A and B are shown apart, each in its own frame.
Chain A
Amino acid sequence: AQRVTQPEKLLSVFKGAPVELKCNYSYSGSPELFWYVQYSRQRLQLLLRHISRESIKGFTADLNKGETSFHLKKPFAQEEDSAMYYCATPRGKTSYDKVIFGPGTSLSVIP
């Protein structure tokens, strides 16, 4: 089964500084990976998925098969980016398998 890890529970950066939220996965094939975000008192929402290679709210994530990573990056952090971020992947090999979540990283952007 696939698994994702997020080594940082907490991450604090200053406003305007670059931010990188780490995610590593365990799967030797071509994984399907997502980043979800949960703002304070709001529901979980999809931020981006690697297959679409889109940029949402200035965030991007590149799949690095060599390092089995899917780190989330933003060049200039904003205060409104403060939230919980979860890396996620289908547990099995098919894209319709149930999605499992990493432990999450709490991002705090300091004004």
Chain B
Amino acid sequence: GAVVSQHPSWVICKSGTSVKIECRSLDFQATTMFWYRQFPKQSLMLMATSNEGSKATYEQGVEKDKFLINHASLTLSTLTVTSAHPEDSSFYICSARVLGAGYNEQFFGPGTRLTVL
């Protein structure tokens, strides 16, 4: 099946620094990738939709200047948490939608746990 990877799997950083998370579709091309945030024991909250070659679409309440998304190729999207603060600590999950699929199926990455000290 389609595989999505994320790097790093976990990261600890100091408050005020920026952190970049990569999401890659390993064996397929994805015109659309999604970024989710998951707090402990809670559901996935969609943050933004990342489209290859165009600007990301952010959900209401998500700061686009805080969470920078770049989708430079059909296999890579990056999420940069700028000037991270402890409240940004969370589990960040990306997913990729299969190009040309006749239905809406997403494949999820393993997630990245961000801890901001």
Question: Bound state CA distance, A46 and B4, in angstroms?
Answer: 13
Tell me whether B46 and A100 are in contact (CB under 8 A).
yes
Per-residue CB contact flags for chain B residues 1-40 toward chain A (1 = under 8 Å, else 0) read 0001000000000000000000000000000001000000
| Residue in A44, A90, A97 whose CB lies within 8 Å of B108 | A44
| Residue in A32, A46, A49, A86 whose CB lies within 8 Å of B44 | A86
Q: Is A83 an interface residue (CB 8 A)?
A: no
Q: Is B93 an interface residue (CB 8 A)?
A: yes
| Interface size of B in residues (CB-CB distance below 8 Å) | 19
Chain B residues with CB under 8 Å of A101's CB are: 43-44
Q: Which range contains the number of A residues in contact with the other chain?
A: 20 to 34
**Nearest A-chain residue to B108, judged by Cβ:** A44
Tell me whether B108 and A45 are in contact (CB under 8 A).
yes
Chain B residues with CB under 8 Å of A45's CB are: 108
Tell me whether B108 and A43 are in contact (CB under 8 A).
yes
Per-residue CB contact flags for chain A residues 42-83 toward chain B (1 = under 8 Å, else 0) read 111110010100000000000000000000000000000000
| Residue in A43, A95, A97, A103 whose CB lies within 8 Å of B42 | A103
